[in-house]
């Protein structure tokens, strides 16, 4: 069974995240969406709310498990017997940042990172943009999965 972890803060989940997971499901038998806690980030939504958003988004998907975690993603992967990490790339800056992390993870543990390029129509979407739209009463609903109410 090929399992992968898709880690992130999902603050909030976007249609870009949904797109990456749906494409990952074509390759992996199971994907664990791992909602992490980054001590350097100030979240708009509580961990419980972020987990709820992700659970509602993927409630009908058989291959998806949802968990929250703290600490290193590779430790979470080892604990869950997972050899792959999924990451989405929107642009070259994402690639440079993610490449360094992926190389360090592979060197430390042998865990491979699989990169998915975002769909052209989702390449500009980020949780940061969605949070800014929420703060300023913009039309954020265009960029989050259907059924999520903030």
Does 127 participate in catalysis according to the annotation?
yes
Does 17 participate in catalysis according to the annotation?
yes
Query: What phi and psi, each to the nearest 5 degrees, are found at residue 107?
Result: -65, -40
Longest dimension (CA), the chain: 44
Does 9 participate in catalysis according to the annotation?
no
**Number of Cα atoms under 13 Å in the Cβ half of residue 44:** 15
Catalytic residue (one of 2, 37, 41, 79): 41
Catalytic residue (one of 63, 65, 90, 131): 90
Hey, which residues are catalytic here? 17, 41, 90, 127
């Amino acid at each position: 069974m090929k399992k992968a972890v898709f880690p992130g803060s999902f603050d909030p989940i976007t249609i870009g995240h949904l797109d990456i997971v749906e494409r990952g499901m074509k390759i992996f038998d199971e994907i664990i969406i791992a909602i992490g806690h980054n001590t350097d980030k100030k979240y708009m939504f509580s961990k419980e709310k972020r987990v709820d958003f992700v659970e509602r988004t993927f409630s009908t998907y058989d291959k998806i498990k949802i968990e929250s975690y703290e600490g290193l993603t590779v430790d979470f992967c080892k604990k869950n017997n997972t050899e792959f990490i999924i990451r989405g790339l929107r642009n070259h800056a994402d690639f440079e940042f993610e490449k360094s992390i992926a190389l360090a993870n592979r060197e430390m543990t042998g865990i491979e990172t699989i990169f998915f390029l975002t769909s052209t129509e989702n390449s500009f979407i980020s949780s940061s943009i969605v949070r800014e739209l929420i703060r300023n009463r913009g039309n954020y609903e265009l960029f989050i999965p259907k059924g999520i109410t903030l």
